[in-house]
Amino acid sequence: MSKGPRVVIAGAGFGGLTCARALKHAPVEVLLVDRNNYHLFTPLLYQVASALLDPGEIARPVRQLIRPLRNADFLLASITGVDFDGRRLLTDHGPVAYDYLVLATGAQSDYFGSASLAEHSFGLKELDEGLAVRNRILSQFEASRWTDDPVERRMLLTFAIVGGGPTGVEMAGALSELIRFVLRKDYRGLDTNEVRVVLIEAAPHVLGAFAPSLREAARRSLERKGIEVMLNTKVESITDRSIGLAGGAQIATGLVVWTAGVRASGLGTAAGVQLTRQSRIRVDPTLQVPGHPVVFVIGDLAGAQDGAAMLPMLIPVAMQAGRQVAASISEMVGSGGARAFRYKDPGIMATIGRNSAVAQIRGFHFSGFIGWVIWLTVHLVNVISFRSRLVVLINWAWEYLFLDRPIRLIVRARE
């Protein structure tokens, strides 16, 4: 590795990895630190959960990805805090000294302080959560074959997704298609009328960040796929066999996927810095932590502003911020100063499944098959490696042509 000021990047997600790559030619030593040894392409995690993709197709080892970066290395560790005075990142393996620090530890599910929501639902932010959801879906179908009680079987075959944002909509659509196209052929005698996929949203519409016409197009598409869309419905409690709604109604279900809330990782709290909404770290326009000019925050952890509004917790924001911070550090090493961050919105999109998606790009709105083709293209291009792109494309083509998903495995890891 080249010698020079050490840039420690906490987190190997989209923001952290982009920052490391943008420092490739800078006269610095880059050190990535993450509790996972892989980079996860989170937009396709729901496809692992719905048995379409294998984990290795959306996750690649960090050390492999940074191999072309001659000034970069990686350490596997859980980050526990920051010693700003001593310029050390604190980890469960000991402190890591830095000259410049980039905090990019991402986000986590937010259960709004409810123990029952956290205990009895599955998040969809981490790779192990995606595998756990897949295991539970398939296990409930297996268990349903062992009962003659119609009430018990109805509970086992009811799947609830809470949260009508892109992740919830995409998970609901993928799960419905897994059941209708694949599992109904696997399970002889399955009465599909006993199977329910329920999408629950507290707001009066799904996909709140999209234009009203696209929200409505998405809702119609979900319902055409047999998904029960419950709007203006708040979840108050969850048990291992039911979900409780505001007003006292209950839905018997053995699986609840929680996509209704997100907040920044706990690093901001552990570091003792000033926080803003969703536990995000308050930053200057340059993405520096106030009072700590050599510490930057990017991605979902950063409470960056665009005028009066907070920037969304989206991958393009993280990647653009990573490049911007890399440029600022390069200039500071050369006795320059940090630049203010300006986000350029590339648009947003979500798929509801086969031949159906919505996209909102620079004032243009697309839905249906055209939106789906745009969604496929954008996501395929952004998958992290060429090998992964090829395998993902093959799996997508196989599923599209033969209505089959080969990753229908119940796998429980042991250590």
User: Quick check: 404 and 398 in contact, CB under 8 A?
Assistant: yes
Q: Which fold has domain 6-109+262-333?
A: FAD/NAD(P)-binding domain (3.50.50)
Strand partners, 256: 160
pLDDT tens-digit readout, 153-175: 999 999 999 999 999 999 999 99
Place of tokens 């496929």: 376
- Collect the ranges in the chain with pLDDT lower than 50: 1-2
Strand partners, 285: none
pLDDT at 400: 82
Domain ranges of the chain: 6-109+262-333, 115-260
Residue 88: CB partners within 8 Å, gap ≥ 6? 82, 95, 96, 97, 98
- Its CATH architecture, for the domain 115-260, is 3-Layer(bba) Sandwich (3.50)
Q: How far is it, in rounded angstroms, from Cα 269 to Cα 98?
A: 20
Active-site residues, by number, are 170
What's the confidence (pLDDT) of residue 1?
45
Tokens found for residue 272: 């003792």
Query: Which position has the token pair 């932590």?
Result: 289
Give me the pLDDT at residue 413, please: 63
What's the angle, vertex CA 373, arms to CA 369 and CA 375, rounded to 5?
110
Q: Token pair for residue 52?
A: 């379409």
Fold agreement between 6-109+262-333 and 115-260: yes
Q: Residue 116: its pLDDT value, please?
A: 86
pLDDT for the residue numbered 414: 62
- Residue 205 · residue 165 · CB < 8 Å: no
